[in-house]
Structure 1
């Protein structure tokens, strides 16, 4: 595995549990990378195109497909409760291990239900309901553990290399997804017992791999939230900077970011859950085509994220977000003109998914990193939890509204894609007012590039 250069640890020396030497940081980051890579295999089996195809095979409609996205979004409401619980524990590792271990073991229930369905013990409706119930409980547990995990990463990863490290970690996760989706699609479509039973086999394999990923967390530096909070509280009392003691409700900069996150997530989820449904139901494409397009997304994600990570470390997260959110907002407009012709199947749809993967890499990376940049070190998990809850509420509202509008007579998916593009563009307005210490303004970047091009265009003077 490629080694990362770890710079001086920025964690204050007052926190003896947090501060650690360079080899320990490097070992923790490598273990976290392996954890993320194996987790990506699990996540792409229990979410995304494979479970969508599974539910469609059981006769599910647009409402059930919309629930696949709205349930995880609604589960984010539990993140503040999870942050409250995690701050009262004495080990980030044990907390995450118990939460995510139970969450992943639950997926053995739908696997057992699939084989009961194959023997006539369950009908299609009961199996669909079982899968959605397990999805809801699993996502609720994931949300309860998420704020603690993000706080753990914020402590372990030095601020100066967050862009590079998380881009590297996500690129390996994208590569794992790139291999998992076509392999899973092939297993499901070629299984001798049918696609539904094939998905049950894929679930069992995914659960085993998901448990292996948790084993790598034993090699990560543990953090005691109690000692960490006490150290940061002592620093805040000694600090002359009043912003170190600012509460969330008085932090105008973070509240502006929350406004952007809410509007953006609503606009994104108006249409995002229905692209695969559009391919499978409206265009009547085979699931192997859909898995191929999903693999193209992860391929572009894998190639682009390292570039975006390095760029974010140089110019900041905010300008990278602005550029890529603008591109992401225009994607639904192109979907309106797609159909089942060879031009769309072989050219337009692959290009759309490649652009989606490249922009998704930047948006996901910088959305997480900018929260770490703006949240104060004291009480970080609470900030992360509130941000996730806002995104959860607005994302669920967007998915619910999209599901309702998609089934309205005379509205259709094309009108939904157009509405989503408009809302996404309007949601960028608050992002212009967010202030990030390390970021360059768009005007400054354009001025710098313009000066470079002007210098290139000037004639070279040679003294004879």
Structure 2
């Protein structure tokens, strides 16, 4: 009984809801491309924060650490009375925090650089916490809105819209910053970043409009509370503190969590190095990095719908088993990159196009394995636990970078610097995630349909 049919909703309302979900994802992604973690990293550098590796790792990891509090999302949704209102309120508050963040840094009234970095990280953390709480409610909402038989295609199309939006946002940010600096070179860097961030906030705020009109299958006319749903799963279950750890007792979902933790940890441990090595070791400009990121997004845009169709026909696990080794080979291209042969790193951004398979199939597999009555709890548990793993490894990687960035290591009779050793380690450990993914048993679509017996 992994999935039950969503409550009755007219077909035209479901189609309308899916269109609104596409619009929400596309517009939000444009704003996200304008106001990204790269912006916050550059703001931190404007503050003169010491220890580049640790500073970058804290900015990258702090939102994931805050994400652990997403475990409380199911109880907060019940307390709020409506996952739709909870989702909208969480997103709106997160944008309010993000809108104040650049202005707060721009005033230069934060004291020492260390104090400024702490305030910056805390504010960034609160923004992501609120955003993640809203995302838990949104995933549960979409899980009931979209039938299982077409969910893979839906997620693939939504991913395509989001990738397109992020590509547009990143290109717009790059063109805006270059044009503004060429036209008015006397404009300080922090002001350029603030303007781009505020435009991004405006785009993300506009993305809430489609959500406001998107139907919620659990909501009744004049009766929007989850607790008031007659005969529904939520009406039959009282809030239980153990529901937050229930996913760990589910064998198949626990295996998915193991995979998520493994891949997240060994993905995060090289994050700081991947951000700093192109700029410091290879002297790659920010503009060229944005071009590479945009090319990757466009590649993902092209294949995301196909990944969704493959997931519906073959299952999510086969697509992920094919995508994961390709994605894991990315650090290997960084390993071969040198200042003289820097072009090797372009290969990493080409193979990372295969992230589309993971981005589409991992959420779909998660929704497929989670029981209908506890979707929100299962989703929150997965993202919180795996997020904590990537946060811990990102901070660890940043500290290791500051300690050993000039060190050299011998392996199998060859000398490697810290960057090369990190990239080789990242390739091997990420590839080993295939073994954990192989252990997950995905229920077939036909068996899922046969087992639909309600709660």
Q: TM-score, normalised by structure 2?
A: 0.84
Deviation at 1:123, TM superposition (A): 6.7
Deviation at 1:194, TM superposition (A): 3.0
1:388 corresponds to 2:383: yes
Kept in 1: contact 2:272–2:394 (CA 8 A): yes
Kept in 1: contact 2:320–2:357 (CA 8 A): yes
Deviation at 1:370, TM superposition (A): 0.3
- 1: CA distance between counterparts of 2:148 and 2:156? 13
- 1: CA distance between counterparts of 2:54 and 2:231? 47
Deviation at 1:216, TM superposition (A): 1.2
- 2: CA distance between counterparts of 1:54 and 1:349? 26
Counterpart in the other structure of 1:200: 194
1:406 corresponds to 2:401: yes
1:301 corresponds to 2:297: no
Which whole-Å deviations, capped at 9, do the CAs of 1:235-273 have from their partners, x for residues lacking one? 99xxxxxxxxx9534421111111111111111111134
- 2: CA distance between counterparts of 1:59 and 1:291? 23
Counterpart in the other structure of 1:424: 430
- 2: CA distance between counterparts of 1:125 and 1:210? 30
1:38 to 27, 36, 43: 27
Per the alignment, in what secondary structure is the counterpart of residue 371 of structure 2?
coil
Kept in 1: contact 2:35–2:198 (CA 8 A): no
1:174 corresponds to 2:172: no
User: Which residues in structure 2 correspond to 1:3-152 (within 5 Å)?
Assistant: 12=5, 18-60=7-49, 61-117=52-108, 127-152=116-141
CA 1:122/1:404 → structure 2, altered by over 3 Å: closer, same or farther? Answer: closer
Which whole-Å deviations, capped at 9, do the CAs of 1:379-402 have from their partners, x for residues lacking one? 111111111111111111211221
Which whole-Å deviations, capped at 9, do the CAs of 1:151-176 have from their partners, x for residues lacking one? 11101111111111111111111111
Greater relative contact order, per chain length (Cα 8 Å cut-off, separation 6+): 2
CA 1:114/1:85 → structure 2, altered by over 3 Å: closer, same or farther? Answer: closer
Kept in 2: contact 1:171–1:306 (CA 8 A): yes
Which whole-Å deviations, capped at 9, do the CAs of 1:33-85 have from their partners, x for residues lacking one? 11111111222233243333343344341111111221121122111111221
CA 1:122/1:204 → structure 2, altered by over 3 Å: closer, same or farther? Answer: farther
Range that drifts further, 50-59 or 359-368: 50-59
CA 1:290/1:226 → structure 2, altered by over 3 Å: closer, same or farther? Answer: same
Counterpart in the other structure of 1:329: 328
- 2: CA distance between counterparts of 1:101 and 1:428? 38
Which whole-Å deviations, capped at 9, do the CAs of 1:296-333 have from their partners, x for residues lacking one? 12111111211111111110000111111111222112
Deviation at 1:32, TM superposition (A): 1.1
Kept in 2: contact 1:35–1:217 (CA 8 A): yes
Counterpart in the other structure of 2:233: 232
Counterpart in the other structure of 2:412: none
Kept in 2: contact 1:110–1:130 (CA 8 A): no
User: Which residues in structure 2 correspond to 1:362-381 (within 5 Å)?
Assistant: 362-381=357-376
Kept in 1: contact 2:73–2:376 (CA 8 A): no
1:354 corresponds to 2:350: yes
Output the aligned Cα RMSD: 2.5
Structure 2 residue ranges without an equivalent (≥5): 220-225, 238-244, 409-417, 447-455
Deviation at 1:22, TM superposition (A): 0.6
Per the alignment, in what secondary structure is the counterpart of residue 20 of structure 1?
coil
Counterpart in the other structure of 1:451: none
Q: TM-score, normalised by structure 1?
A: 0.82
Kept in 1: contact 2:43–2:193 (CA 8 A): yes
Counterpart in the other structure of 1:340: 339
Q: Which has the larger radius of gyration?
A: 1
Kept in 2: contact 1:49–1:291 (CA 8 A): no
Query: How many positions carry a matched residue from both structures?
Result: 412
